[in-house]
Structure 1
Amino acid sequence: MSQALTIGDFSKATHLSIRTLRHYHQIGLLEPTGVDPDTGYRSYTTEQIPAAQVIRRFRALDMPLDDIQAVLSAPDLRTRDHLIAAHLTRMEASLSRTQQAVASLRDLLEHRAAPATIGHRSVPATPAAAISENIDVADALLWYPGALGELHATLAAQGIRADGAAGGMFADELFADEHGRATIFIPCHGRVRPMGRVTPTTAPAVELATIIHAGPHDEIDRAYGTLGAHVAEHELALDGPLREYYLVGPADTADEGAWRTEIGWPVFATGTTGSPMSVS
């Protein structure tokens, strides 16, 4: 038979603070069995202790309160288990990102930067299909694959073949102000009809100092740093959007370790920078 507990005793029994229990009551996650109409004191029963313990463990796993509510109110075991499995999958992905960040930080702290080759190339004006929008830099890694997928789908629907690796152009403001113009384009010949976000464009001619980044894009800042240092020390930098060319990317393989991205920094061609050079 269940017994009534004051909110203080229920707090001690469940290791949930009184403040937390009040909040859970307000949002309907864990409601007391009774509230005194005169004093407002809440009371619980011993039968509610297991539910409180479940909530506490889900919160220890960083499950959002809305998701916990959905789990507790799931109409059947299959729905409940699906919700829990989805959260565990998100946790595993978060753990993987944390492990990658730790490994990268250790590399930086131990100064194990691999030698990099700086190249140069002249890029002619290039007809292309493009998606161009103002975005927040925090959204770039999510925005880019969506834009690239839409471009490939549009070209396929119009029977137009790509004429080179897909590329990107990123305005200075995107880096300096965390918000600015980003353009993803696919070189192609043929009349591109505007569809959705896709429009025809011409990527301007440009002289670039270049570096190849190998691997996933969340580590690409290291290659940018190496190239930026080289340009500052050895080149005449020009204003204008930075370039990326996705030599091997999501459209080619799901293996992020196999991705290859060429980063291009606009420079003034002096006629003396034609040969690749290695930097450490």
Structure 2
Amino acid sequence: MFKIGEFSKLTQVSVRMLRYYDEQGILKPSRTDPVTGYRSYTSEQIPKLQRILFLRDLDFQVNEIAQALAHWQDMPITDLLEHKKLELLAEVAKIQDRVDKIDIAVRDVQARNLDVHCNVILKSIPELSVLSLRRRIPDHFCEGDLWFELNRFVMEEHVALDTGVNNLALFYDENEGDSEVDVEVCCLVKKPGIGRGDFVYRLIAGEELMACVMVYGPYQNIGTAYHTFARWLEEHRYYEMKDTVRQICHLGPFNEENPERYLTEIQVPLKRRD
């Protein structure tokens, strides 16, 4: 038997961590004195501790380590490692996405483009006849998947689209704590047809008072444009937002190769305050 301090020196694992592993139930002492509470360990426990350290260094969490130890004999370790590798690769992809966004922000700051100056124009919008597809999606980056589905339906059903720019996306209010995004993508059509499943023909009501903001450049500028519009609302307190925000892509991946030339229109229905 080794006292916890002796076992710590033999294994190069701190006393604090040994106590933590005991509390978490993944490495219980061989004996705990019922009076003093002193912990004692044996040399037979060292292989198990080495397995714990091995998994910890591979970023396994305590609950994952406990599960791995419980099934160490009947579950190939390679399966555990492959599963963990996939998790880590997903995390790497998320981190790389954040790094890419930081690089874009740095370039914008260096080019002094961070503050996108947008003019707010008020106009009325007529009633629109559309073919729409509305879904809840994990995030805004998945909007392209909806457009792919809608365009495929248009091609398969030979839908007669209206002339000119005929794409419109509506972003509905999100519930507090809801991480998903409620989006409706629409194509303007010459006449209503027969829908199928999630594909619906409908009329979008006209708006007498619509605030419109033209956003130039890549889609990353859209967030800053909303910030600009928020400042405009603060300065024009006699207006308030009324309904669902709309976005129209005049120039985008479908008709422009250079993202610096993209042109997106944000439309926000307004009403006058009482």
Question: Normalising by structure 1, what TM-score?
Answer: 0.61
In structure 2, the CA distance between the partners of 1:80 and 1:120, relative to structure 1 (3 Å rule), is same
- Give the structure 1 partner of residue 12 of structure 2: 13
Q: Using the TM superposition, name which of 227-236 and 37-46 deviates more.
A: 37-46
Alignment deviations for residues 44-64 of structure 1 (CA, whole Å, 9 cap, x no partner): 63333443233222338x899
Q: Using the TM superposition, name which of 110-119 and 124-133 deviates more.
A: 110-119
2:58 is paired with a residue whose SS is helix
CA distance in 1, matches of 2:260, 2:58: 33
- On the 8 A contact 1:216/1:257 being kept in 2, the answer is no
- On the 8 A contact 2:129/2:192 being kept in 1, the answer is no
- Over aligned residues, Cα RMSD in angstroms? 5.0
2:154 is paired with a residue whose SS is helix
1:53 is paired with a residue whose SS is helix
- On the 8 A contact 1:158/1:192 being kept in 2, the answer is no
2:194 is paired with a residue whose SS is coil
Amino acid at match of 2:140: L
CA distance in 2, matches of 1:82, 1:267: 50
1:123 correspondence with 2:114: no
TM-fit CA distance, 1:113: 1.3
- On the 8 A contact 1:5/1:45 being kept in 2, the answer is no
TM-fit CA distance, 1:226: 0.6
- Give the structure 2 partner of residue 193 of structure 1: 194
- On the 8 A contact 2:134/2:182 being kept in 1, the answer is yes
TM-fit CA distance, 1:129: 1.6
Alignment deviations for residues 239-263 of structure 1 (CA, whole Å, 9 cap, x no partner): 2222112345576799987765321
Match of 1:266 among 266, 269, 272: 269
Q: Using the TM superposition, name which of 4-13 and 15-24 deviates more.
A: 4-13
Amino acid at match of 2:184: T
CA distance in 1, matches of 2:154, 2:13: 59
CA distance in 2, matches of 1:186, 1:220: 21
TM-fit CA distance, 1:202: 1.6
CA distance in 2, matches of 1:83, 1:119: 52
1:115 is paired with a residue whose SS is coil
In structure 2, the CA distance between the partners of 1:78 and 1:140, relative to structure 1 (3 Å rule), is closer
1:113 correspondence with 2:132: no
TM-fit CA distance, 1:99: 5.9
- Give the structure 2 partner of residue 157 of structure 1: 156
Structure 2: gaps spanning 5 or more residues = none
Alignment of structure 1 residues 216-235 onto 2, 5 Å:
216=219, 220-233=222-235
CA distance in 2, matches of 1:256, 1:64: 45
- Give the structure 2 partner of residue 147 of structure 1: 146
Structure number with greater Rg is 2
- Give the structure 2 partner of residue 170 of structure 1: 171
TM-fit CA distance, 1:224: 0.9
Match of 1:241 among 232, 239, 244: 244
Alignment deviations for residues 30-84 of structure 1 (CA, whole Å, 9 cap, x no partner): x77x966998988663333443233222338x89949x959x8874859845751
1:59 is paired with a residue whose SS is coil
Q: Identical aligned pairs, as a percentage?
A: 12
TM-fit CA distance, 1:264: 1.0
CA distance in 1, matches of 2:52, 2:267: 55
Structure 1: gaps spanning 5 or more residues = 26-30, 270-280
TM-fit CA distance, 1:205: 2.1
Count, aligned residues: 249
- Give the structure 2 partner of residue 272 of structure 1: none
In structure 2, the CA distance between the partners of 1:5 and 1:209, relative to structure 1 (3 Å rule), is farther
1:243 is paired with a residue whose SS is strand
CA distance in 1, matches of 2:97, 2:33: 52
Q: Using the TM superposition, name which of 183-192 and 254-263 deviates more.
A: 254-263
- Give the structure 1 partner of residue 59 of structure 2: 59
- Give the structure 2 partner of residue 215 of structure 1: 218
Alignment of structure 1 residues 247-258 onto 2, 5 Å:
247-248=250-251
